[in-house]
């Protein structure tokens, strides 16, 4: 299905729900990898909002992106519990390792893995605990060598 058709289907599916905007945006991003600018006008029309209001919501939340990410998204936890066990050094290492890579690196403020940090999330649902720089390099190498 083409992107506009996917957006139309998702809008139709959700627009009658109370507080439909966030579920709608989540589903569009899950399907397309981001919320493209051309999705904003039909969402605004369906929910009787201004385009500015829809854009305001998209830009407010760190989770929503307006451009497609790299081939993979790697999130490194930068919150206190991971800082206490070397999280900052890991984040620093990750920045250097992924500079120029097609893997998108993002900070995340807590994955709820605070007793086994530093923690890393790959593509929404794969989690890694007690990540050292060496372990990080191994998991990136595995991601990059996968088809």
Partner 1 sequence: MRTTIFVPGDAAALAQGADAVAAAIAAEAARRDMAIRLVRNGTRGMVWLEPLVEVVTSSGRIAYGPVTAADVPGLFAANFATGSVHALCLGPTEDIPWLAGQQRLACRRIGVVDPRSLADYIARGGGEGLRRARAMAPAEIVRAVTDSGLRGRGGAAFPAGIKWQTVLATPAAQKYIVCNADEGDSGTFSDRMLMEGDPFCLLEGMAIAGLAVGATQGFIYVRSEYPHAVAALDAALAEAGDFLGNFKVEVRKGAGSYVCGEETALLESLEGKRGIVRAKPPLPAVAGLFGQPTVINNVITLASVPDILAQGATAYRELGCGRSRGTLPFQLAGNIKYGGLVEVPFGLTLRQLLYDFGGGSRSGRPLRAVQVGGPLGAYLPASQFDSVLDYEAFAAIGAGLGHGGIVAFDDAVDLAKQARYAMKFCAIESCGKCTPCRIGSTRGVEVIDRIRAGQHEQIELLQELCETMTQGSLCAMGSMTPIPVLSALRHFEEDFR
Q: Interface with partner 1 by CB under 8 A: which residues?
A: 18-23, 25-26, 47, 56-57, 60-64, 79-85, 108-117, 119, 121, 124-125, 127-130
Q: How many angstroms separate the CA atoms of 109 and 77, rounded?
A: 6
Closer CB to partner 1, 112 or 147, in the complex? 112
Q: Minimal distance in Å, beta carbon 139 to partner 1?
A: 12
Find, among 61, 70, 74, 68, the residue nearest to 125 by Cα. 74
With respect to partner 1, which residue has the nearer C-beta, 29 or 103? 29
Give whichever of 8 and 27 is closer to partner 1, judged by the CB atom: 27
Q: How far apart are CA 54 and CA 40, in angstroms?
A: 7
For residue 143, the minimal CB distance to partner 1 (Å) is 16
Smallest gap from residue 89 Cβ to partner 1 (A): 11
Q: Could you give the 3-state DSSP secondary structure of residue 28?
A: helix
Q: Are 20 and 14 in contact (CB under 8 A)?
A: yes
Q: Which helix (H) or strand (E) holds 134?
A: helix 133-145
**∠ CA 133-138-143 to the nearest 5 degrees?**
120
Give CA–CA dist 42/147, Å, rounded.
Answer: 35
Q: Smallest distance from the beta carbon of 31 to partner 1, in angstroms?
A: 15
CB of 17 to partner 1, least distance (A): 8
Name which of 8 and 123 has its Cβ closer to partner 1: 123
Of 14 and 93, the one with the shorter C-beta distance to partner 1 is: 14
């Amino acid at each position: 299905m083409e992107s506009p058709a996917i957006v139309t289907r998702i809008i139709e599916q959700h627009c009658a729900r109370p507080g439909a905007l966030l579920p709608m945006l989540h589903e569009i991003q899950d399907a397309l990898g981001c919320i493209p600018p051309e999705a904003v006008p039909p969402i605004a029309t369906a929910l009787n909002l201004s385009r500015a209001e829809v854009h305001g919501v998209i830009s407010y939340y760190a989770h929503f992106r307006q451009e497609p990410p790299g081939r993979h998204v790697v999130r490194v936890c930068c919150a206190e519990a991971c800082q206490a066990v070397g999280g900052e050094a890991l984040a620093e290492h990750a920045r250097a390792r992924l500079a120029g890579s097609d893997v998108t690196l993002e900070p995340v403020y807590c994955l709820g893995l605070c007793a086994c940090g530093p923690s890393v999330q790959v593509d929404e649902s794969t989690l890694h605990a007690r990540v050292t720089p060496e372990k990080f390099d191994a998991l990136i190498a595995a991601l990059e060598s996968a088809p």
